[in-house]
Structure 1
Amino acid sequence: MSTAVQDAPAAAPSLFAIASRIWDAGAPVEALTADRDGAAVAFELADGNVALAPARDPEPAATRIRIAGDSGQMSITPRAGRYAPLERAELGTHGTIAVCPSASGRGVVAIRSDGRLVRITPRGQVVTIPTGDLGRVGAIASHPAGPQIAVAAGGNVVVGPEDEPARGTVSPLPGDVAALAVSPDGRVAAATREAIHLLDAGRTMASFAATRAERLVFSPDGTYLAAALFDGGVALVRIADGRVATLANYPAPVRSLAFSRPASAFATSGAYRAAAWSLATPPFDGAADGALVTGRPGLVLVETVAAHPRRPLLAIGYADGIVTLAPIGSREEMVLCPTPGGAVTALGWAGAGDDLAIGRADGMAAIANLPPALFK
């Protein structure tokens, strides 16, 4: 006698699958940038191209929440329709090497591989930005709220209008500039081989010892500046007194830096759990000072982190493709993206923090729409 074998019931789709828009970008994602107006997210690809997605979800998860009458259990229903595909910016033979939000609010500005600047609209249109006789541009950063952009060409930093940056104020520095950042009040940080220089209205206001900084991030209030170092580790600078904490002994290069205003904290990737410190007791006298245990330790490297703009929450991306959410200073961790795959190379919160953009080395690009009820 034979016994019929019934198929196992299909697994319920994950929160990530239901709440997210997910695309195949066609190439590894290396970085991502959300524009200032919340119109678009630009995924920077390893082949030099840029793929753009609307930041706003046409069917937000909050509109698809259902509460079971008998149990009170919350669920999110599947989407009723399709969402838009990625828009690819046509850049010809010149790919991009760096991207920042456009000072106009919508879209992004990119450096092409030939050192020229272009603006990319949310629909993927590419507009050349004249740079006059500036020469080959190597780094860019836009003002977080103002209409200006900072551009580095060789050892010169120019701050001027985005449409014609060559008309701006020039600050010559001792060596080529590898990275730029603009503070909320408009000061510019520029990294050369031996130091980070703080510029204001064309003048060098201070210089901080930091060798080969390659990524710069200001805290939301401009009080601190963080730098990822080419030779490993992180430099944390307190602007007011110029004090520098060098945080070394990371098991891997630090790919991302994040400041959290709600938690008054600073976090990095590069270890086997998110590395975080309280800015109330910053680590100027040792890496243990102010350390905040965040998330669970494991055997997989943290590749990237992103701090929520309104909650004391950190998104954590791992080398195996998993993305989690953890309250800063807590061992608790919620798995958001449970699907293993390529390393999570990019994370970023869009707009007010309802959407988390994710990029992976296997070409997955996604934007997860997270309803406020998820955090209650």
Structure 2
Amino acid sequence: MTSNVELDRAAAPQDGTAVPDRVAIADVAALGGRIAAAVSQVVLGKPDVIRLALITLLSEGHLLLEDVPGTGKTVLAKSLARSVDGTVSRVQFTPDLMPGDVTGVSVYDRSTSQFEFRPGPVFANIVVADEINRASPKTQSALLECMEEHQVTVDGTSYRLGRPFLVVATQNPVEMEGTYPLPEAQRDRFFARVSIGYPDRSAEVAMLADRDRGDPLAAISPVADAATIAALIDTVGTVHLAPALRQYLVDIVGTTRTIPEIRLGASPRSVLHLARAAKAAAALDGRNFVVPDDIQRLAVPVLAHRLLLTVEAHAARRSAEDIVAGLVGRLRVPRGG
């Protein structure tokens, strides 16, 4: 990674652009720290994963947790939900789940001779979509409109979803029987993907010390409500992104479309997502401007899951994560703001 004081200063606003109040930015950092502390009571030894979940929340994105069974995917989703005092729902995706089971349905009311809409579990601030790849493509597609437009359309009528709205989906990448791979359109709507991985030795020892006494999730108390999170999201949106860094973002994403090993590069939506992620990372660090390190550290989790590799790249055991990390390392870092 390339980072120094000169780069940090160059990334700061130099053209008289109004910047957000430092107190407001400090509130983002402080509250983010409290949420991270609450989640870390349950998800042990994974500060980077928790930070990415926070960045996704403050960017109004959606998070895909992809890992082998038993690594804490659902626990992370539940603990993040418990730390925010908003509406929370959990959907266990199964092959027989129907779209209406997620979005809601219109039911005929005999007393009024009218159809009445009954909201589904997607009408919540945080929706935990457990094992999302076990549902059929038809049911998976029910989330497309929800995730992108924050609304649900049933029988020609659109219903707005609350704010904030975060989908935390989990899936198992190794157990393929009875699963349906997420289509590219669905994957592109996920703001970031992360693999939790196995805990280190000390974290597993700590788990043995207290997990047999009760549910660790019960110890988490909400540290913010939905209205507060929505206000913090607005503050994150005011973080300054220098023109040179905007070009840097476009260069990173554009390069994914020219690499021979990639048959489908990152979409224009991914440029917006990476910019939002960098702003949220800056705010969590107490800064009101983005620096190159913010972009470099988030390029892999924000971009890699959107890429489709060629057959030759798979045969050479190349991963999308390696390719993104390599191109970030090769591109020239801007020196001026």
- TM range, normalised to the smaller chain? under 0.3
Q: Which is strand-richer, 1 or 2?
A: 1
Using the size of structure 2 for normalisation, the TM-score is: 0.26
Task: Name the TM-score, length of structure 1 as normaliser.
Answer: 0.24
Greater share of residues in helix: 2
